[in-house]
């Protein structure tokens, strides 16, 4: 559904990323995870055709987005960071406005969601809370009924209740109709409930792309205590080890026995070895580091 | 697109209509007062031999209305990068911007045509057609300024600025 090949982008002389490649298969929900400034919104802007990468190409529905037929955007739903909409319109006016652009528009889906907000149809969007605005934006996306949804930081500004509501509605909508979703969020707990696959970005590169189930099934956080006079040296396949007063915490896709044997081989003496499964947020921090 | 522009700007155009008609009415009342005080013959003489135009307080009204119209129509599109919504609509971006500009152009045209008709009818009660024609050159020039220099230029600049803004985000 989406194919990005060797994307390179700079802001001035600052490299955002070089030769970034990924693809989003049809019918999957893919989350782009990364720290602030790693280029998540830049990627969304490139995917939306608002930004031309310095090199590389991005294809949606098989067409290069630069020079894409505008009518193909009927099948792409876009949620802008902060659930931005035409706030000078009312709930009814904005529905009427968008309905004219999309032949498969389903206003019942939109008004069903709006009826749950308990706001009048003539309420202006600018006078609604951030949570209510998110529901308006979601309702419009669902009414548009696109094949592909691109959501930029959908959780921005939402309290936990509205985040949960947004995710549950979105997941039900997407799974019941086989949509493809590409999304970013800075709240990774939310992603765990929603996404099938994830891409983790660090500055300038992709660390991994894999199904969330596989990631959570294989990734482990290990803790152990270094024996006196023992130090932890550089090791392959180990992510961001931290040592505080002899207590080591690190993440790895290696199983416990393999890690232990590598530590022994490196001459690292340790005790109180333990391993645990982690949630997506801990895996993200483990893989990208705290800083 | 026109529906959106109308929702966004209708209050501005309602206020602009009332304000400009009130100003035109004020100018005509002033002329009427001068006729009562000094007589129509004196006014004709001043208009013909001293190039007095009597409606010069309207000189900058079209310009100001043009500036405010551009701000009212395009600033809400740029705040919070809302222009992305328009750019994502399933139609050419240039076509969308042209429709937005034409909408404002048409509304201003209607507004000022109404003003001109009111001034024309009012001035014809005081002056001969030849003098009215001379007096009209000024507001027509002002309106042309508002259309050409202000509205279209400002609208274009604001849209250009908005589109470029994404490349630095």
pLDDT tens column, A9-34? 888 888 888 888 888 888 889 998 88
Say which of A51, A72, A76 has its CB closest to residue B167: A51
Report d(CA A115, CA B74) in Å as an integer.
32
Instruction: Inform me whether the C-beta atom of residue B10 falls under 8 Å from chain A C-beta atoms.
Output: no
Cβ–Cβ contact A74 with B under 8 A: yes
User: Under a CB-based contact definition with an 8 Å cutoff, are residues B65 and B109 in contact?
Assistant: no
Does B87 contact A at CB distance below 8 Å? Answer: yes
Euclidean distance between CA atoms A12 and A32, whole angstroms? 24
Q: What DSSP string runs through B78-124?
A: HGGGTHHHHHHSSS-HHHHHHHHHHHHHHHHHHHHHHHHHHHHHHHH
When comparing pLDDT for A165 and A146, which is higher?
A: A146
Q: What is the pTM of this model?
A: 0.78
Contacts of A86 in chain B (CB under 8 A): 4, 8, 76, 82, 85
When pLDDT is averaged across residues A248-263 and rounded to a whole number, the result is 87
How close are the terminal C-alpha atoms of chain A, in Å? Answer: 34
Structure tokens at A57: 């190409």
The structure tokens listed for B25 are: 């009415």
Q: What is the pLDDT of residue B154?
A: 67
For A155, the 3-state DSSP assignment is coil
pLDDT in tens, chain B (169 residues): 889 999 999 999 999 999 999 999 998 898 888 888 888 777 777 767 776 667 777 778 888 898 899 899 988 888 878 888 888 889 888 888 888 889 998 999 899 889 888 888 888 887 777 777 777 776 676 667 666 666 676 666 666 655 554 444 3
Cβ pair A2, A182 in contact under 8 A: yes
In which element (H, E) is residue B137 found? helix B129-145
Is B90 in contact with A48 (Cβ distance < 8 A)? no
Q: Nearest CB to B84: which of A50, A93, A101?
A: A50
User: In chain A, what percentage of residues exceed pLDDT 90?
Assistant: 8
Residues in A closer than 8 angstroms to B91, CB to CB, are: 70-71, 101
Look at residue B165 in the predicted model and tell me its pLDDT.
Answer: 47
Question: Mean pLDDT in chain A?
Answer: 85
DSSP state letters, B70-85? HHHHHHHHHGGGTHHH
**What's the rounded Cα separation, in Å, for the pair A27 and A178?**
5
Asked if B82 is an interface residue toward chain A (Cβ–Cβ < 8 A), one would say: yes
pLDDT, tens digit, for every residue of A59-111?
988 888 887 888 888 889 988 887 888 888 999 999 999 999 998 898 888 88
Confidence of residue A157 (pLDDT cuts 50, 70, 90): confident
Domain layout of chain B by residue ranges: 2-161
B168 interfaces chain A, CB cutoff of 8 Å? yes
- So what's the pLDDT on residue B87? 86
CB contact under 8 A, A48 and B85: no
> Is the CB of residue A8 less than 8 Å away from at least one CB of chain B?
no
Task: List CB contacts (< 8 A) between A80 and chain B.
Answer: 81-82, 84-85
Q: Is B116 exposed, middle or buried (0-12, 13-18, 19+ CB in 10 A)?
A: middle
pLDDT band per the 50, 70, 90 thresholds, residue A35: confident
Residue A72, chain B, CB below 8 Å: the answer is yes
CA dist list (Å): A199 to A29, A148, A271, A286, B132: 11, 17, 34, 14, 73
Question: What is the number of other CB atoms lying within 10 angstroms of the CB of residue B148?
Answer: 11
Cβ pair B84:A101 closer than 8 A: no
Contact (CB<8Å) A88/B8: yes
Evaluate whether ipTM surpasses 0.90. Answer: no
Distances (CA, A) of A165 to A134, A138, A154: 10, 10, 12
- Structural tokens at position A247: 């207590």
Q: What 3-state class would DSSP assign to A117?
A: helix
Q: How many CB pairs under 8 A join A and B?
A: 63
């Amino acid at each position: 559904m989406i194919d990005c090949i060797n994307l390179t982008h700079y802001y001035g002389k600052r490299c955002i990323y070089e030769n970034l490649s990924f693809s989003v298969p049809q019918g999957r929900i893919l989350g782009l995870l990364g720290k602030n400034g790693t280029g998540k919104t830049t990627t969304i802007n490139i995917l939306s055709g608002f930004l031309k990468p310095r090199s590389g190409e991005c294809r949606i529905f098989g067409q290069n987005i630069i020079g894409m037929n505008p009518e193909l955007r009927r099948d792409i739903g876009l949620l802008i960071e902060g659930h931005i909409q035409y706030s000078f319109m009312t709930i009814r006016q904005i529905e009427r406005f968008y309905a004219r652009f999309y032949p498969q528009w389903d206003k019942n889906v939109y008004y069903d969601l709006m009826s749950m907000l308990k706001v009048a149809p003539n309420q202006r969007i600018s006078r609604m809370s951030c949570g209510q605005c998110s529901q308006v934006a979601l309702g419009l996306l669902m009414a548009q009924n696109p094949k592909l949804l691109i959501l930029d930081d959908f959780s921005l500004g939402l309290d936990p209740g509205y985040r949960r509501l947004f995710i549950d509605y979105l997941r039900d909508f997407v799974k019941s109709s086989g949509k493809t979703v590409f999304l970013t969020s800075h709240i990774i707990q939310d992603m765990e409930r929603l996404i099938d696959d994830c891409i983790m970005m660090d500055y300038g590169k992709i660390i991994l792309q894999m199904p969330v189930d596989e990631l959570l099934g294989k990734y482990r956080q290990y803790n152990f205590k270094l024996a006196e006079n023992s130090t932890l040296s550089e090791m392959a396949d180990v992510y961001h080890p931290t040592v505080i007063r002899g207590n080591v915490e690190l993440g790895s896709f290696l199983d416990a026995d393999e890690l232990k044997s590598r530590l022994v081989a490196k001459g690292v003496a340790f005790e109180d070895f333990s391993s645990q499964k982690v949630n997506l947020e801990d895996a993200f921090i483990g893989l990208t580091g705290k800083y | 697109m026109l529906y959106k522009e109308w929702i966004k700007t209708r209050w501005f155009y309602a206020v602009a209509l009332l304000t400009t008609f009130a100003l035109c009415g004020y100018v005509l009342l002033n002329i009427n007062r001068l006729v009562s005080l000094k007589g129509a013959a004196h006014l004709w003489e001043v208009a013909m031999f001293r190039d007095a135009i009597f409606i010069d307080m309207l000189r900058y009204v079209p310009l100001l209305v043009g500036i405010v119209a551009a701000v009212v129509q395009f600033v809400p599109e740029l705040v919070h990068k809302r222009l992305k919504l328009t750019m994502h609509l399933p139609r050419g971006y240039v076509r969308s911007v042209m429709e937005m500009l034409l909408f404002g152009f048409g509304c201003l045209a209607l507004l000022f045509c109404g003003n001109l008709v009111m001034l024309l009818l009012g001035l014809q009660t005081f002056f001969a057609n030849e003098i009215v024609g001379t007096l009209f050159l000024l507001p027509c020039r002002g309106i042309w300024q508002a259309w050409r220099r202000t509205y279209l230029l400002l609208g274009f600049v604001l849209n250009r600025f908005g589109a470029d803004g994404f490349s630095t985000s």
